[in-house]
Chains A and B, each alone.
Chain A
Amino acid sequence: MNKLILGRYIPGDSWIHQLDPRTKLLASFYYIGIIFLANDWKSYLVMTLATFFMIWLSKVKLGFFLRGVRPMLWLILFTVLLQVFFTTGGKVYWQWGWLAITQFGLSNGAFIFMRFVLIIFISTLLTLTTQPLSLADAVESLLRPLRVLHVPVTELALVLQIALRFVPTLMDQTTKIMNAQRARGVDFGSGNLFQQMKAVVPLLIPLFVDSFSIAEDLATAMDARGYQGGDGRSKFRVLKYHRRDGAAAAGMIVLTVSLLLLRA
């Protein structure tokens, strides 16, 4: 668990940190959308430069981003190899039966690789610079229009916020129960599949029971503090767009235009 960088927040006050979470969320999705516009080395170069510029703006060390790529490395390599071996066209460099390494195959492989790495960089940038709670706020605010369709947006946001808040608590509880059961002679992660599955029972049941009791206590505490449902509540954390959010949007438009002009 500790090796996973994606999904962690690193406190800071850089230009990127101070952006409105809605801007960051939308820009990340938008970026992932327009990366599919890039189709030659010039457009990929522009995307790479733009990405590194954003990373530089965030003042987070590059090492974090590289570590974010590591868990996905095998998936990336697998996809790249498929591209390299199964794309035909252009000059043939090597052939063995129906397997061939061709010019197009190599370039396609390289592009796919860049696409993966840049997408992971951008999503890592989003989570490293945005607190989970602000992300939940952003989701709530962006989904608000769906209320017209009777989607219970405030309730969804509440569930999301409570879930995010209790992830670390439940992780702690998991570690504690695991240790307690280990001390009673349970071997986690050893033996055959059936034994391993059986060893999880003494961990899962207490965790579920604990979640039920947390839920009950939390619901009672919320009731006692006057919670009566999501509608008609005011907000403590009010999201507001600033000038820098406009600048970020403008940056995205510039990026799109240059991509459209440059792509082959």
Chain B
Amino acid sequence: MRTNDLILKTTTNIIVFIILAFSFKLFLAGHNMPGGGFIGGLMTSGAIILMYLTYGIGPINKVFRVPFTILVAIGLSIAVATGIGSFIFGQPFLSHTDGYFYLPILGKSHLATAVLFDVGVYLTVIGVTMTIILSIAEDR
């Protein structure tokens, strides 16, 4: 018998966007406030897990077409690439730089290359968490 989980689905639809927005905020806040790639990635995977819980593995797998193991590799390559990027500018490995730029809507913003490294961490954390949970879930 299929239970009617309309309430769960409706609340999930709303809440997932709030969690994703909050995790993205946490991810960007890392430089000046508590937050960063690790906690942001964990929270994003929390939102994804909520979707899996509500809709089941089949439908959500149609949404996420990139397998999560590949996501780990993409995250790692971004992190390594930011380290190697410093080679081109004649700096020691992992040297990072920052600066102030005028962006169209946001105005004067502080942009740092350390964020790119954090993107790597973010993707790796999502990939690892989801790989662990999904491979346990799919194991019958």
* Co-complex (A, B): no
